[in-house]
Amino acid sequence: MLTQQIATLIERIAQAGQPPMHTLTAQAARAFYEKAGTILAGPTPALLETRHLEIPNRDGHRMHATLWVPSVAARGVLLYFHGGGFTIGSPATHAGLCQQLAVQANCAVLSVDYRLAPEHPFPAAVHDAFDALDWLQAHHHTLAPRLGLISHLHAVGGDSAGGTLAAASAIHAREQGWPLALQLLFYPGTGAHQDTTSHERFANGYVLTRADIDYFFSHYIPDRSMRTDWRFAPLLADDHSALARTWIGLAECDPLVDEGIAYGDALRLAGVAVDLEIYKGVVHGFINWDRAIPEAKAAHRDASAALQRAFA
């Protein structure tokens, strides 16, 4: 099922002899991902401005965030949450993706360095996500003239665990009465227990393994009884109606693909407009590999087009 480029990449990963992620401490896993996570990212596009901000949260912590603004007047702001199983990753590991979205979609992208597990287990990350959206909503009118924004539209987005946070944030926005232009979800985790057919089919050999998923979630939400909370599993929310229009991009050979399809179906049944793309022959994490994987570039273009439509 794999494309030739993905098959070759998996073979090279195996040949490198790096210990599996789930055998590392969380701190060692983060350090490795910070070094290796950007190796296959494409060249950095030219941007007008990069800013570093601090956003307060409800616990008195100040989250670091990076804001990328394109060289032309931006049509809105995408609040982006990086992936990494709630345990690894940062705005730096997803800088290339965020920069591509900023330039191709002609929008500002605000990427949040939310707190990670195991030091900060559930619901710390989702609290940070909600607080970042609250902050953006409260400060948009002061940010807009400084950044040259030509609309007051917001979108939320993320990949993997960040997609979970984005989906939960869209529900939070609806509960607060805040309209969103779009929720942009790359292979989001949406289910409570990783028991779908795709979790079984792609449990080993497709980059993100069952052992890795267990490792991440044992750090983030070790009490399995809490995993039915919709803030961890947005698929289980009582009501999916009146949510923002949604774009979902999935990897065909990914344990999470069935969850993504199920979430798109749940939103459609609730009357939400959904565009869903499945990229054939690729695996979890592919959107950060645009130097080597053409499907990543296609996903960037498709997601950016969805943002352009939403902000228009």
User: Which entry of 90, 111, 160, 169 is annotated as an active-site residue?
Assistant: 160
Distance CA 244, CA 310 (A): 10
Say which residue the tokens 């273009």 belong to: 301
Nearest Cα neighbor of 188 from 267, 118, 120, 110 is: 267
Cis peptide before 121 (omega within 30 of 0): no
Strands 76-81 and 62-69: unpaired
3-state secondary structure 102-113: HHHHCCEEEEEC
User: Which entry of 127, 154, 284, 300 is annotated as an active-site residue?
Assistant: 284
Asked whether 75 and 149 are in contact (CB, 8 A), the reply is yes
Does residue 154 have an active-site annotation?
Answer: no
Compute the C-alpha angle 273/200/213, nearest 5°. 80
Strands 49-56 and 62-69: antiparallel
- On the 0-12 / 13-18 / 19+ scale of CB atoms within 10 A, 25 is exposed
User: Which entry of 131, 159, 254, 258 is annotated as an active-site residue?
Assistant: 254
Structure tokens at 143: 């940010």
3-state helix, strand, coil in the chain (%, to 5): 45, 20, 40
- On the 0-12 / 13-18 / 19+ scale of CB atoms within 10 A, 14 is exposed
Does residue 284 have an active-site annotation?
Answer: yes
Strand partners, 201: none
Does residue 71 have an active-site annotation?
Answer: no
Q: Which residues contact 304 (CB under 8 A, 6 or more apart)?
A: 100, 101, 104, 105
Residues carrying an active site annotation: 160, 254, 284
